[in-house]
C-alpha cells in the first residue's frame, strides 16, 4: 500500500494568512493526488484533483502543486470558512489511501 | 442535482453483518463513467478508503477489509451497497458513500454519512 503523510498535523492561523500544507507519498504517484476539506460534522469536499486542478465551484484562493512524491496545498488568504481539516488522497493505486489530515484552526 | 444518501442500521452486535445502501437521486447511476465508493471515519480520526464498485460490477477493495467485504450496484433501484461481515467494535465509524468520476479522479460527490456503532 502507498502510505501518505501530511505536515503539519495542525496549524494555527489568522484570517488573511497564507497557509501551506504538505503531503508526501511513500512512492511516486505522478500527479494522482486529491485534496479534501472537511468541516466538523460534515462530509469531506473535493478541492483539488490531479494535484493542481481546481474542482468546479472551489474558490481560487485554493491551489495545489507537486508531482511524484511531494505535494502542496496552499490557501492564499485564509477566510473564516476555511477553518477545517484538510486531507490528501492518492489516486494512483488501490487502496486509495488518505493522509492523516491537517487541522487549520484559529490563532 | 445528483445527491447521495446512505441508509442502514445504526447499531449492530459484534459478529453481525453490516449492510449499507446508498441511494442516488437526481440522476441515473448508470449514466456516465463513475466509480461508486465507500469511505469511513471513526470518531475523531481520519478517513479510510473502503472500496469502490463500477457499474459493470467490477470492484476494488481495501485489502485490510477484503475478506469481509462485498460491494454491488442495483441499477433498477439506482442504488449501490456495501456488506461487511463479522463486524467488531473496530468497525464503528461514520460511513460515507461517494462518487468518483473517471474524468476527475477524485471523490467529487459525497453523502452526508451514517453512523454505525458496533456494541454488545
**Any chain B CB within 8 A of the CB of A24?**
no
**Any chain B CB within 8 A of the CB of A102?**
no
Q: Are B41 and B96 in contact (CB under 8 A)?
A: yes
Task: State chain B's mean pLDDT as an integer.
Answer: 96
Q: Where are the beta strands (DSSP E) in A1-107?
A: 4-7, 10-13, 19-25, 33-38, 45-49, 53-54, 62-67, 70-75, 85-90, 102-106
- Number of Cβ pairs < 8 A linking chain A and chain B: 65
**Any chain A CB within 8 A of the CB of B105?**
yes
Predicted confidence at residue B103, as pLDDT, reads 84
| Average pLDDT of the residues in A17-30 | 98
Alpha carbon of A76: minimum distance to chain B alpha carbons (Å): 22
Predicted confidence at residue A37, as pLDDT, reads 98
Rounded Cα distance between A62 and A74, Å, is 6
| Average pLDDT of the residues in A3-15 | 98
Rounded Cα distance between A25 and A6, Å, is 9
pLDDT digits (tens, 9 = 90+) for A59-96: 999 999 999 999 999 999 999 999 999 999 999 999 99
Predicted confidence at residue A33, as pLDDT, reads 98
Rounded Cα distance between B59 and A89, Å, is 19
- Nearest CB among B64, B106, B111 relative to A49 is that of B106
pLDDT digits (tens, 9 = 90+) for B7-26: 999 999 999 999 999 999 99
pLDDT digits (tens, 9 = 90+) for B45-84: 999 999 999 999 999 999 999 999 999 999 999 999 999 9
Report CB contact under 8 Å: A49, B105: yes
Please report residues of B whose CB lies closer than 8 A to that of A48: 106
Predicted confidence at residue B32, as pLDDT, reads 79
**Any chain B CB within 8 A of the CB of A89?**
yes
| Average pLDDT of the residues in A19-34 | 98
Amino acid at each position: 500500500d502507498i502510505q501518505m503523510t501530511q505536515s503539519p498535523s495542525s496549524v494555527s492561523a489568522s484570517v488573511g494568512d497564507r497557509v501551506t500544507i504538505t503531503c508526501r507519498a511513500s512512492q511516486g504517484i505522478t500527479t494522482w493526488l486529491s485534496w479534501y476539506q472537511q468541516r466538523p460534522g460534515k462530509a469531506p469536499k473535493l478541492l483539488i484533483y490531479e494535484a493542481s486542478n481546481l474542482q468546479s465551484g472551489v474558490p481560487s484562493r485554493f491551489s495545489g502543486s507537486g508531482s511524484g512524491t511531494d505535494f502542496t496545498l496552499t490557501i492564499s488568504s485564509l477566510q473564516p470558512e476555511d477553518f477545517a481539516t484538510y486531507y490528501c488522497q492518492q489516486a494512483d493505486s488501490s487502496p486509495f489511501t488518505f493522509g492523516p489530515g491537517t487541522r487549520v484552526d484559529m490563532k | 442535482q445528483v445527491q447521495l444518501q446512505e441508509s442502514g442500521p445504526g447499531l449492530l452486535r459484534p459478529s453481525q453483518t453490516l449492510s449499507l445502501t446508498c441511494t442516488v437521486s437526481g440522476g441515473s447511476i448508470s449514466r456516465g463513467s463513475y466509480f461508486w465508493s465507500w469511505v469511513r471515519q471513526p470518531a475523531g480520526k481520519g478517513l479510510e478508503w473502503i472500496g469502490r464498485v463500477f457499474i459493470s460490477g467490477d470492484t476494488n477493495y481495501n485489502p485490510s477489509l477484503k475478506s469481509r467485504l462485498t460491494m454491488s450496484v442495483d441499477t433498477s433501484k439506482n442504488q449501490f451497497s456495501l456488506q461487511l461481515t463479522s463486524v467488531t467494535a473496530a468497525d464503528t465509524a461514520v460511513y460515507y458513500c461517494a462518487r468518483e468520476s473517471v474524468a476527475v479522479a477524485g471523490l467529487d460527490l459525497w453523502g452526508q454519512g451514517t453512523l454505525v456503532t458496533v456494541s454488545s
